Amino acid sequence: MKHPTEAVHEYRGDATPLRNCKHNLDPVTVQIIRHALASAANQMVKTMVRTAFTPVLYEALDFAVVLYDRDFRLLAQGATIPAFTGTMGFCIQAAVENAGGDQSLLPGDVILYNVPHGTGSHAQDCAVILPVFDEAGTHIGYCANKAHWADIGAKNFYCTDTTDLFQEGTLLPGVKLYAAGVENESVRRIILANSRSPNLVAGDIKAQISSCNVGANELSRIVSRFGYATFLDCIETIIEHSERKVRAFLESLPDGVYTGTCYMDNNGVENTPITFEVTVEIAGSDIIIDYSAAPPTQRGPVNCPLPSTVSLSRILLSMIAGSYEAPNEGMFRPLTVRTKPGSMYNPHRTAPSFLYGWGIDAAMEGVLEAFAAAIPTLPAGSAGDICALDIHGVDADGKFFALGAALPVGHGANPTHDGNILYIPALANSRTQSAEIIEARNPVLVDAWEITADTAGPGKFRGGPGWQLAYRTLSNAEVISIIERTLEPARGRDGGLPGVANRLELEEPDESVEIIGKVTGKPVRKGTRLRIFCGGGGGYGAPAERDPALVLEDLRNGVVTLEHVKRHYQHALESLLTLAHFQTAGSGSGLS
């Protein structure tokens, strides 16, 4: 067990004492307010999806919308990607402090903030923050929208090789784009002058502001309907209830210290694998997630700022213990996050962090492995990446294009079911862009989109299969690849075997093939084929215990080949012909 020292930082989250609220609150009113806040957040999501200019926002949902109270406590968050869960409190607080403090806020203010050590993200994720006031002019909270901008002047559209913060884009340290409803034209012009895609960025900023206005109007309406005092009492009750539920879940787990291992191929600059342990310490109704064994701040951009280290811990806690409820501050009160200042998960302020999300992904897999030692129902490991690829350039008409895509991978099986093809936890609610949208907006041809046989980790229940997506370029272009976990496949569990790791192949027009990992600005010629192999999830339980009927079904569906069956499911071979005979009788088909 690790113990805090002067070199270790512990973040305990919200420590605001709960108010002495009325104990005779109408529970119906409490539930109405809870669901009204969730509805407001979801209306913010819908507004953003309908008005955003960039596909990564309206298709992939790479943004967050939140409602916070004036004490920077999370009230509700929209169902977009989980990776921003719990970071927005840091972000809003830093933005408000840099803009002059809450005493300087007025109705109609709009604050922009994207400094990584405050947002927990790379600079391309920029937050729009609106203070919210009720009809009487009382400051009651904040609405915020943090979204991935198409470009903000980093050394490239997406970066795998930055070595300091200042190569990663224009910094907006809490500046007012609008002050009391009046736009600061100079701030807007600076932003757009530092973007390769100014029209997209301009449109997305307006979408963010519209989204926040919807949330602010709804929050003000809720307070107006029930009164501010009743609203505050209900918020305290909601927070207390969520805390109680999470603590009850933690108390049901065996006390102990559980360990998981995290892997990354490299830091983007130095080709050295990164491996370290994380621990989960459960004691009664309290939990510590400890990252203090992480390596020092990395020279490449995989560093994970403290807000995102806290966020990844909160995501997993809310997913595991949150009873499928939308997160609020109460869920996180039992959690302590332990880090070492100057490490990869609490880096210094100017550390490169463009690929912070890949640091999140690696740590999540390790923390889930640690949790699995205490919770038998948790699944085996996933392929642990989003197999991200960017293709950009100028098409035949002289028009600039940029295709950015994140993809789901095979997930681990659990004690009762096979694994699925899903996004990893940090992007769990994201969506894959359709082939039609990709081809309509970019000079590429999607010429493969299919399951890859024999990639699922064998087991009593197999992992989710891997799949492949191939783009053929129709013009010269440049490629940015951020593919990870190509060296370490998904872990199996309880006798299950690993899946097959991720891979990216670049096939030149002359048919020569190169396997590539992280790379920025790699030129590719017209006719080049980029083939992404998303990895398979780990199996659960011994392969010898798999039901032969399930083996046959996988064989028919192309999930496995006969050679794979011979190698991992020998026990099923004798049954296959019999099962095939009975299940295909009268169809004239045979086992192929």
Distance (Å) of CA 201 to CA 206, 307, 324 = 9, 25, 34
Cα 439 from Cα 68, distance rounded (Å): 39
Q: Please report the pLDDT score of residue 231 as a whole number.
A: 94
Name the residue ranges covered by the structural domains of the chain.
23-245, 379-546, 551-592
Cross-strand bridge partners of residue 283: 286
Q: Evaluate if residue 23 carries a pLDDT over 60.
A: no
Q: How far, rounded to the nearest angstrom, does the alpha carbon of residue 386 sit from its chain's CA centroid? A: 9
Nearest Cα to 69, choosing from 185, 274, 236, 206? 236
pLDDT tens across 24-50, in order? 688 999 999 999 999 999 999 999 999
Q: Is the model's pLDDT at 85 over the cut of 80?
A: no
Say if residue 6's pLDDT is above 80: no
Tell me how far apart the alpha carbons of residues 160 and 146 are, in angstroms, rounded to a whole number: 22
Residue 229: its pLDDT value, please? 92
Closest CA to 425 of 57, 120, 82: 82
Rg over CA atoms, the chain: 25
Instruction: Please answer whether residues 266 and 300 qualify as being in contact, where contact means their C-beta atoms are separated by less than 8 angstroms.
Output: yes
- Check whether 511 has a pLDDT greater than 70: yes
Smallest CA-to-CA distance from 106 within 132, 145, 69, 88 is with 132
pLDDT, tens only, 428-458: 888 888 899 899 989 999 999 999 999 999 9
Options 3.30.450, 3.30.1490, 3.10.100, 1.10.3470; CATH for 23-245 is 3.30.450
Predicted local confidence at residue 579, as pLDDT: 60
* Distance (Å, whole) CA 466 – CA 383: 8
Question: Average per-residue pLDDT in the chain?
Answer: 92
pLDDT in tens, 332-356: 999 999 999 999 999 999 999 999 9
What is the mean predicted confidence (pLDDT) over 183-212? 96
pLDDT by residue (tens digit) across 169-183?
999 999 999 999 999
Residue 590 has pLDDT above 60, yes or no: no
Which contiguous run of DSSP H or E holds residue 393? strand 389-394
Pairwise pLDDT comparison (26 vs 464), residue with the higher score: 464
Cα–Cα distances (Å) from 270 to 319, 518, 519, in that order, read 34, 11, 12
Specify the pLDDT at position 430: 84
pLDDT tens, residue by residue, 301-330? 999 999 999 999 998 998 899 777 778 899
